[in-house]
Structure 1
Amino acid sequence: MALAPGLVATLYRAACLAELDALKPGNVHAFAPGHRMEVADFVASADASAPALAQAGAGVGARVRGGVAATMRTVGQNTNLGILLLCAPLAVAAERGTGPGDVLARLDKADSAGIFAAIRLANPGGLGDSVRHDVAGAAPDSLLEAMREAAPRDRIARAYVTDLSDIRTIGLPALEAARAAGLDAVWCTTAVHLAYLRGVPDSHVARKHGRDMAETVRREAETVVAGLDLATRPTRELLAFDRSLKDRHINPGTSADFTVATLFWDALAAAGANLDPDARTRRATP
């Protein structure tokens, strides 16, 4: 079943806002601001980027570039590059009535140019330089080749060459388990975020603070979560972890990006999009 662009835009915006409502240690959320950003910046970003993300007939690259450009015009800073990179293949898949793996397998030179342009516009911190496929240079003919090279150090790049495997193996199972445990929607979102935070080192933390710190944060999250029952709504404990991360200027932004994408995938599937993870043979994990 193919979904109408207007519905895709509505579900994308709803996923962005739902992520902001949840307590996500280290990120900006309704319980606490952080990193010189407020919830209002992300709400405005969702509103601004939704039309481009759901643009009828557009490819992945055009949607990401359009969403980033609209966001930069509106809030003047990068708030959603990672979100758009993860959500654009889902939006295209939902509109075409196919799976995201098929969309990713068909990325072309135009998609590569659009995404490299979006990255330059957003200018995310901690990218460093790459011997090949540096975003300051010309976009490569094969976006997947560039993503495959970056995959060992970046979970979003890895998502492009593994058919969004982290969403399928971490995010969606965590969301299902949280619902089965009777958690309300807000705490289900927190559960998804914590699953990413404790499951894999956060790429944004690694870029800004190094891989050792990313692994330290992962272990800290694992320790915090081990002693919590989210059914009790442990706001005090999670806010203490939130303050600890923000006091160290640590923002696990990749975990937040994957949380939005997980909610978006779930909403699209509930609306009838065919995003069955078993619909095609998976490419090997790099």
Structure 2
Amino acid sequence: MRKSNPKKNLSLCELAQTAMMLEVCCKEKPGNVDRCHDYDDTALEHFLSSIILAHDALSNAENFVSRDDFERGTAGLACLAGLRPGYPPEYRDDFLSAGIGRLIYDAVSDTNQHSGGNTHFGAFLLLIPLIAGRGIAGAKELIQRTNVSDAVLFYLAFGLTSVRMNESDDMDVNSPSAIGDLRRKGMTLYDVMEYSSANDMIAAEWVNGFALTRKFADALIVSGKGRDAIPEVFLRFMSEHTDTFVVKKLGADAGRWTMETARDVLDGKMTSEEFDRIFLSRGINPGSLADITIAGIFIALLEGWDWDR
């Protein structure tokens, strides 16, 4: 019989890192890096490395207090005091003025220390406000109070990754005029997410109150299972929601095919292993759903779900 030690109360940072670990260490999670297979250029170890390297940014998110509260004198922003030596000096004022955007930039920068490319950019867009807000309700308030500097640092963070974006978009982060356009239009980070929400399910989470995150967490909680519920809920979500990362990378037809074929797996017409092999052969990676999976696991853990049952 296994001895059970009393469980300590984990910090929000530890819960977030646990969520990231559980997502990537799943079995039979079609199309994503997991314990069963790597990609040619990104391995399980790259994801695990990023989880470790994200600690400081996630911990700072846990200790974050909005700048409005700070300016009212009701709390401090010790986690964002001072500037890191590596910050681009021309954006000094933005780093001093930003909150959520700076935390996102730090998380992306800190995890950009290996050759595995982008591993958790979308996850950080969800986890940072969810940690800072102590859950969904607080996150919804915080994101409404982001400013232009938050948007600028989000664009800088985007530039550190290889994340793909619709090339025809007039708010393309790779455009030399992008940050100037942000300032000219006075767009906050919430505004940027709202603008992108029609074609990006991570941005849509900011606008719709983290609806899919909530739905994923609820599905885990009511499953009556531990970590084995994660790939089951993931596959069900894939059958119900078009992954916008797949659409951006390979087009709308690939997005529809992914959703429809996931339904075939649920109906027993194809095995999960077969589905995964086709994904790998076609280079299909449902990455946005993986990010929502992480956020959903985090909220479930925050609300008492036991992954280790």
Amino acid in the other structure paired with 1:103:
L
Query: How far apart in 2 are the matches of 1:198 and 1:211?
Result: 15
Compute the displacement of 1:126 (Å): 4.4
- Asked whether the equivalents of residues 112 and 142 of structure 1 are also in contact (C-alpha less than 8 Å), the reply is yes
Please tell me whether residue 168 in structure 1 is matched to residue 214 in structure 2: yes
Q: Which residue of 1 is the match for residue 279 of structure 2?
A: 245
Query: How far apart in 1 are the matches of 2:267 and 2:237?
Result: 14
Partner secondary structure for residue 263 of structure 1: helix
Paired residues for 1:94-113 under 5 Å: 94=134, 99-113=138-152
Q: Which of the pair has more CA radius of gyration?
A: 2
**Unmatched segments (≥5 aa) in structure 1:** 1-5, 229-235, 272-286
Compute the displacement of 1:129 (Å): 3.9
Query: How far apart in 2 are the matches of 1:127 and 1:80?
Result: 19
Distance 1:224 1:116, change over 3 A: same
- Asked whether the equivalents of residues 21 and 29 of structure 1 are also in contact (C-alpha less than 8 Å), the reply is yes
Cα RMSD of the aligned pairs, angstroms, is: 2.3
Amino acid in the other structure paired with 1:32:
H
Paired residues for 1:1-286 under 5 Å: 7-22=11-26, 23-55=28-60, 56-57=63-64, 59-75=99-115, 77-94=117-134, 99-132=138-171, 134-136=173-175, 137-138=178-179, 139-140=182-183, 141-169=187-215, 171-179=216-224, 183=225, 185-227=226-268, 237-270=271-304
Larger proportion of helix: 1
Compute the displacement of 1:258 (Å): 0.7
Q: Which residue of 2 is the match for residue 275 of structure 1?
A: none
Compute the displacement of 1:161 (Å): 1.0
Compute the displacement of 1:75 (Å): 4.2
Deviations 1:105-142 (A, max 9, x none): 22222321221111111131344242136453104532
Query: How far apart in 1 are the matches of 2:41 and 2:172?
Result: 31
Query: How far apart in 2 are the matches of 1:177 and 1:197?
Result: 19
Normalising by structure 1, report the TM-score: 0.81
Compute the displacement of 1:73 (Å): 2.0
Deviations 1:133-172 (A, max 9, x none): 6453104532222212211111011111111111123x12
- Asked whether the equivalents of residues 42 and 116 of structure 2 are also in contact (C-alpha less than 8 Å), the reply is no
The percent identity for this pair of structures is: 25
- Asked whether the equivalents of residues 112 and 118 of structure 2 are also in contact (C-alpha less than 8 Å), the reply is yes
Query: How far apart in 1 are the matches of 2:130 and 2:13?
Result: 11
Compute the displacement of 1:79 (Å): 0.8
Compute the displacement of 1:213 (Å): 1.1
Distance 1:158 1:98, change over 3 A: closer
Compute the displacement of 1:83 (Å): 0.8
- Asked whether the equivalents of residues 236 and 266 of structure 2 are also in contact (C-alpha less than 8 Å), the reply is no
Query: How far apart in 2 are the matches of 1:76 and 1:41?
Result: 5
Q: How many aligned positions are there?
A: 253
Amino acid in the other structure paired with 1:159:
E
**Unmatched segments (≥5 aa) in structure 2:** 1-9, 65-79, 81-98
Structure with greater contact order relative to length (CA < 8 Å, sep ≥ 6): 1
Amino acid in the other structure paired with 2:131:
A
Query: How far apart in 1 are the matches of 2:303 and 2:115?
Result: 30
Query: How far apart in 1 are the matches of 2:219 and 2:25?
Result: 18
Amino acid in the other structure paired with 2:233:
V
Query: How far apart in 2 are the matches of 1:117 and 1:132?
Result: 13
Query: How far apart in 2 are the matches of 1:26 and 1:45?
Result: 19
Runs of 4+, deviation exceeding 4 Å:
none
Deviations 1:76-101 (A, max 9, x none): 51111011111111011129x96221
Distance 1:75 1:269, change over 3 A: farther
